[in-house]
Amino acid sequence: MARIRPLLVTLLGLLYSAAAVAIEEQPQARSFSLPAARTSERYPVGKRSITGTTNAAHVDGSILVNITLGSQTLPVVFDTGSSILWVWSTYYNGSLAGDLYYNISASTTWAQLPGYTFNISYVDGSGVSGVVGTDKVTIGGLTVTGATLGAANLGPSAPSTFKAGLIGMERGSMSVKNSAGNSVTRNTWMQNIASSLPSPIFAVYLPWGSGAAQSSIDFGYIDSSKYTGTLSTVPLMSGTARWQFTSTSYYVNGVHYSVTTTTSGQALIDTGTTLLLVYPEIAAAFYAAVPGAYQDSGEWVFPCSTTTFPTLTLDVGGVQAPVSHEINWGPWATFANGTKICDGGIQTTSRTTMTFGDVFLASNYVVFNDAASTIQIANIVF
């Protein structure tokens, strides 16, 4: 996970009890749309055909969707880089004044799993831990009863005024600790609803910029109006819960380069990360074509007066995917002469696996299919 701005999400539902999956029919129409807001903050994050659209927003670099726990509606990060649903709660060992959180005592459907705990560490160095229980969870007008979630009580940073937690959309199951301290698996939200969808997939549509269409996340179907050309299928790597694939080459302004990093040549898609984090050689080749660009304390920056950027195309499991939007992240510093320096949406990673975050998704429509161990990708319609 990593950072946030606005969006709209299309969801399909189901509901789950701690022992079994069940469906709860909702009275509203099978498809619906709710508005989404967008901010520009940046911080260094039997089958039934039920469809719908739920709130989402981009704030400090992550996609936010509204979920209802019992009767409490809270915004959470929609994160393909983790698996558990967790929220800050009244179990938190600190002040909650002015923050968004889950009030355990206000939910008549919360049931704690005795002795069960969760503890998560994220790639940006943050983490969170707490107790585990079940509650009725509604997203997009669709309800899962007895859904497993973590009620956070400890973290390196305090709860937030704009997000209450996170819903994990990683592949496979979530892992928690039982009373004996052993790791056990529980169903994720996607696992709970998959059997009730027309197809066990979700697709991410995040067009950014002035005049861009409303963003969305579509569950159970593919919307051909949101991409151009043909969807290309990319096999995912085995042995990992990540949406991970090979990535061994790239183009800058049409010039082809092979990745020389010998440790990996791999990447993953993470909606919980705003930036596009690539190998240093890729970032260096890109910013070499940006007039005045340089690294400041490891961060690539450039004059805010820059209006055009080189084209960048990345290898996604053999498919060439463009990156052409949301490069400029706003003023980073202002010098005495009035010159403003801006932060780039493309930055470097020291890890062996690159992270293709929301900057990448601003140019590409991606369909996630855990059952088939694939993603599908095509150029986005703005």
Bigger pLDDT: 216 vs 230:
230
pLDDT value at residue 326: 64
CA distance 34 to 66: 10
- Asked if the model's pLDDT at residue 17 lies above 50, the reply is no
Tokens 């890729």 locate to: 282
**Mean pLDDT across the stretch 292-309?**
90
How confident is the model at residue 36, as a pLDDT? 33
Domains observed in the chain:
3-203 (2.40.70.10), 226-380 (2.40.70.10)
Average pLDDT over residues 62-85: 89
Across the range 335-345, mean pLDDT stands at 82
pTM of the model: 0.85
Task: Please give the Cα distance from 173 to 321 (Å, whole number).
Answer: 29
Average pLDDT of the residues in 222-237: 96
Indicate which residues carry an active-site annotation.
Answer: 79, 270
The DSSP symbol for 105 reads G
Strand partners, 341: 303, 333
In the predicted model, is pLDDT for residue 56 greater than 80?
no
Distance in Å from the first CA to the final CA of the chain: 25
CB atoms inside a 10 Å sphere around CB 296: 11
Assess contact for 42 and 20: CB atoms under 8 A: no
| Residue 58 pLDDT level (bands cut at 50, 70, 90) | very low
Mean pLDDT of 359-366: 93
Long-range contacts of 115-120 (CB under 8 A, 24+ apart): 115/178, 115/179, 115/180, 116/176, 116/177, 116/178, 116/179, 117/176, 117/177, 118/84, 118/86, 118/150, 118/176, 118/177, 119/177, 120/82, 120/84, 120/86
What average pLDDT does range 28-34 have in this prediction?
27
- Greatest pairwise CA separation for the chain in angstroms: 67
